Chain A
């Protein structure tokens, strides 16, 4: 079981460092910077919708974070 957890941590670390090898150049970010590609394009409206849904479910969390990976926030 401990070995399994260690493998998960190693995999997560590897993924984060692999991210460093990804290169999307600034001039290639026009699509990522578009509002259509934002994870939380309208945070206030998303928060209100989540507030309404959270009050009807036993779960909570994992909500979106603003930004779209465009480095433009």
Chain B
């Protein structure tokens, strides 16, 4: 949303009055002069308001998860060289997740026993954020801060980035760095216990208080990203993005227990350090004969937990009428399992069996593939320019407005992940999105 900043209609005079009134008048005049000067610089500048809402739902065997994510961002550009922005996002989570995980080998020696347990999940994550961008010539510097808080997790995140145009604006380079200082709530364990005897966190009561049964586990995340965007022809552009991330600290789900031996279940135990790297290459190609923009993305990923993945995405978009765009997209994803992934740590034939000192019940660390299909509609309104000149406005307020809606469905196919030997064949996620934005 773009907000035109206007100069005040008049400036107060101040001469020929008593001293205290002169002082007050001088202050008012000074403040008005500042506003006037500021407004003069900002006379052609704008404010933008955007809101986005995402609704996620899945209900595979024995579990379900619904997440509603509303977000709003405001960006104000009071002068050409600076943009200030602030925003807020939330995650409202409800559902039921696996609390105790076992595989087929354990179930086969304990027939008739329901070894899998689930627990209801309810959480509310609040995340306010703010930042600014400074511009000088072809270079822009951005810095921002994001705070995240929920019952069992707190996060402070800082971001700095620089972007520059080169080669007659046909090329853009961008470098950024982000650092998270996170805290995870965990249960205090007995001093003499080791991870195979650790007990899972029962619930979030007492988290981040002086409650003696609770403790904070630290997690620091360093992220680095570099990108190169290039226009090659009037209808073809590419983008290369490299991302590296170093995580150091507690990365397990504190609520999840794994059956690691006969009659022994323990809190999930992941390594403390993880280094992740991804390289993505994108192409945007406008096909003039059929007036369609094609977007093709390929991404490869690898980390020190031995997960390797490949992602392919294809999106086609075109205008149906002026301002109204329709996009269709498809996504294929395939990953290998983590080095310490096993569907059953109690035994069985490979790939089952123990995998060293770590154990997990996280299906996202198991080998699987997923297929996603979706569509998006976007409608942008630009008011018709006035014949007499000046800024055209919609309803006398907005210089432009945008509405969008999307729907995606994703099907997950797990190679090894089971719940006590029962494969999960109905893991399907539905994602609905809605966006609105306007410039004052």
Chain A residues within 8 Å of B, Cβ to Cβ: 16, 19-20, 22-24, 26, 28-32, 35-37, 39, 41-42, 44-45, 48-49, 51-53, 55-65, 67-73
- Complex interface: chain A residues within 8 A of B335 (CB): 57-59
User: Of A37, A41, A44, A56, which one neighbours B237 at CB under 8 angstroms?
Assistant: A37
Which of A36, A56, A62, A72 counts the most chain B CB atoms within 10 A?
A62
Chain B, Cβ-Cβ closest to A30: B234
Indicate if the CB atoms of B243 and A63 lie closer than 8 Å: yes
Q: How far is the CB of A34 from chain B (nearest CB, A)?
A: 8
- Complex interface: chain A residues within 8 A of B309 (CB): 57-59
Chain B residues within 8 Å of A, Cβ to Cβ: 50-52, 54, 56, 67, 69, 71, 73, 89, 165-172, 174, 223, 225, 227-235, 237-239, 241-245, 276-280, 282, 284, 286, 293, 295, 297, 299, 301, 303, 305, 307, 309, 311, 317-319, 325, 333, 335, 338, 364-365, 370, 372, 378, 380, 404, 406, 408, 410, 412, 429, 431, 433, 435
Cα separation A29 to B247 with both chains bound (whole Å): 41
Judged by DSSP, the binding face of A is loop
- Complex interface: chain A residues within 8 A of B303 (CB): 58-59
- Complex interface: chain B residues within 8 A of A60 (CB): 243, 245, 276, 278, 301
Indicate if the CB atoms of B282 and A20 lie closer than 8 Å: no
Indicate if the CB atoms of A45 and B435 lie closer than 8 Å: yes
For the A-B complex with A16-B228, A44-B435, A57-B335 known, give 20 more contacts whose Cβ atoms are closer than 8 Å.
A23-B168, A24-B232, A26-B169, A36-B325, A37-B237, A39-B229, A44-B73, A53-B410, A55-B364, A56-B412, A56-B429, A60-B245, A61-B223, A61-B244, A63-B243, A64-B282, A65-B227, A65-B229, A69-B170, A69-B171
Judged by DSSP, the binding face of B is strand
User: Of A26, A39, A53, A57, which one neighbours B282 at CB under 8 angstroms?
Assistant: A39
Indicate if the CB atoms of A39 and B69 lie closer than 8 Å: no
Closest 9 CB pairs of A and B: A71-B169, A61-B243, A62-B280, A69-B231, A61-B278, A69-B237, A62-B278, A59-B301, A28-B234
Chain B, Cβ-Cβ closest to A24: B231
- Complex interface: chain B residues within 8 A of A68 (CB): 229, 231, 237, 284
Indicate if the CB atoms of A22 and B231 lie closer than 8 Å: yes
Chain A, Cβ-Cβ closest to B435: A45
Q: How far is the CB of A14 from chain B (nearest CB, A)?
A: 13
Cα separation A61 to B50 with both chains bound (whole Å): 24
Indicate if the CB atoms of B172 and A62 lie closer than 8 Å: no
Indicate if the CB atoms of A24 and B170 lie closer than 8 Å: yes
Cα separation A12 to B303 with both chains bound (whole Å): 23
Indicate if the CB atoms of B237 and A32 lie closer than 8 Å: yes
- Complex interface: chain A residues within 8 A of B305 (CB): 58
Q: How far is the CB of A49 from chain B (nearest CB, A)?
A: 6
Indicate if the CB atoms of B167 and A48 lie closer than 8 Å: no
- Complex interface: chain B residues within 8 A of A45 (CB): 52, 54, 404, 406, 433, 435
Indicate if the CB atoms of A57 and B370 lie closer than 8 Å: yes
- Complex interface: chain B residues within 8 A of A65 (CB): 174, 225, 227, 229, 239, 241
Cα separation A39 to B231 with both chains bound (whole Å): 12
Name 11 A/B residue pairs within 8 A (Cβ), A-sorted: A19-B171, A23-B168, A26-B168, A29-B231, A39-B229, A44-B51, A48-B52, A48-B71, A68-B237, A69-B238, A71-B231
